[in-house]
Amino acid sequence: MVPSSSSLSSPIVYALTLFVSLSFLLLFAPQILPLGKHRQVPISAQDELDDLHLFREAITAASSRGGSSKVSHLGTINPKPKIAFLFLTNSDLVFAPLWERFFESNDGLFNVYIHADPSTKLNPLQWSIKANFIASRRTARASPTLISAARRLLANAIIDDPFNLYFALVSQHCIPLHSFKYVYTSLLGNPSSATKAFLTPRSHQSYIEILSDAPYLHNRYVARGDGMMVPEIPYDEFRVGSQFFVLAKRHALLVLKERKLWKKFKLPCLDLESCYPEEHYFPTLLSMEDPKGSSHYTLTRVNWTDSVDGHPHTYHSLEISPELIHTLRESNSSYSYFFARKFSPDCLKPLMGIAKDVIFRD
Ligand SMILES: *[C@@H]1O[C@H](CO)[C@@H](O)[C@H](O)[C@H]1NC(C)=O
Ligand SMILES: *[C@@H]1O[C@H](CO)[C@@H](O)[C@H](O)[C@H]1NC(C)=O
């Protein structure tokens, strides 16, 4: 923003702004731009304290408002349970128009929260859904900042609306593979009778991939140095899974209360090539604390064939077809996939073209 009170000062202000932006870019370019290898982003003690404060607020809010004892009271205004969609992004939300169609005419059944890395330029015109932009901090791969960002999203969603019962974490490269109604009904049942979901929160399952075996798992375990994870996390309890998940509220709260594993996962990696804390923290935690409460598979389809540098296959516009959508939905688990990643921005147009007749037709 350039606040210019008079037209005379504008050129100077612009020149200054340009100068400041350029210096900023030169100073921080290595961290902001994906140049070469992973960079470490430290979490300051103050950020850590702010997060702790936020998480406590969420836990307090949930315990003072939640619980089935409040249901009869809630029943008087006939609330519906909601799904909180948590967008974790470090670039513009190019698929916003597609998500908008996904959410269309489902008001009252969802909320949207966005954690955008502070360096992100978001185009507000693309997004007409009421979204909550939460206070965000820098995020980077190969650092625990992505875990913190996901936890901040969970905390904000819990504080904001007690009717959020499920929390779906997605990125700017994710797209929906089904209609909102399909996703909602699968998780919470028919909206007209979904109020009873408030009575059964303890039976809600989380959908998160949890694997005990994967290539290079041991390298990832010792990425912070030999013996660094014990005694909190023995190797045979260390898990891996996809970064994106759908958590039930009880597990979202578990994640916010957690301190023990975080103490280890927040440590910087020595081996940056094997450093993916966000792919281990959530699966390991849920596997240790409530293995039966999670599906162990994800609802977000990813294509790891020919992955490069830890990035999955990125779909481009020429690959988009109704057949692709149908193929991506196919799953060996109890639900077909709800979402998929990763898609490049040029996919928006062909995806919009098949939205109504293919993607949102279940
Ligand atoms: C996964 O990606 C590979 C290329 O990396 C591609 O050949 C294959 O068709 C993709 N699979 C699906 C199901 O899209
Ligand atoms: C389902 O399982 C079969 C057999 O193990 C496998 O070939 C196929 O790739 C799986 N499909 C998906 C979508 O995971």
Residue-wise pLDDT tens digits, 282-328:
999 999 999 999 999 999 999 999 888 878 999 999 999 999 999 99
Task: Give the integer Cα–Cα distance in Å for 117 and 280.
Answer: 21
Question: In percent, how much of the chain has pLDDT > 70?
Answer: 85
Cα dihedral 98, 137, 297, 66, rounded to 10, equals -90
Task: Give the integer Cα–Cα distance in Å for 35 and 50.
Answer: 30
Ligand 1 atom with the shortest distance to the CA of 303? 1
The DSSP annotation for 185-243 comes to HHHH--GGGGGGGGG-GGGPPEEEE-BS--TTHHHHHTTT-TT-STTTS-GGG--B--S
Average confidence score pLDDT of the chain: 87
Q: Are strands 300-302 and 164-171 parallel, antiparallel or unpaired?
A: unpaired
Q: What is the mean pLDDT of residues 328-333?
A: 95
Q: What is the mean pLDDT of residues 203-227?
A: 95
The pLDDT score that the predictor gives to residue 283 is 98
> pTM of this prediction?
0.87
How many angstroms is it from 65 CA to the middle of ligand 2?
A: 43
Structure tokens at 140: 């980077």
How many angstroms is it from 332 CA to the middle of ligand 1?
A: 17
- Relative to the alpha carbon of 313, which ligand is closest? 1
CB 177 within 8 A of CB 99: no
- Burial pattern 318-338, b for ≥16 Cβ within 10 A else e, equals eebeeebbeebbeeeeebbbb
Tell me: the pLDDT tens digits for 265-281?
999 999 999 999 999 99
How many angstroms is it from 332 CA to the middle of ligand 2?
A: 6
Tell me: the pLDDT tens digits for 335-358?
999 999 999 999 999 999 999 999
- Relative to the alpha carbon of 332, which ligand is closest? 2
> CB under 6 Å to ligand 2: residues?
330-332
pLDDT-based confidence at residue 33 (cuts at 50, 70, 90): very low
Q: What is the mean pLDDT of residues 1-9?
A: 40
Amino acid identity at 301: R
The pLDDT score that the predictor gives to residue 36 is 38
- Whether residue 176 is predicted with pLDDT greater than 50 in this model: the reply is yes
Indicate the range of 2-11, 118-127, 237-246, 250-259 predicted with least confidence: 2-11
Q: What is the mean pLDDT of residues 72-85?
A: 74
What is the best residue among 329, 332, 337 to mutate for testing ligand 2's pocket, by most ligand atoms within 8 Å of CB? 332
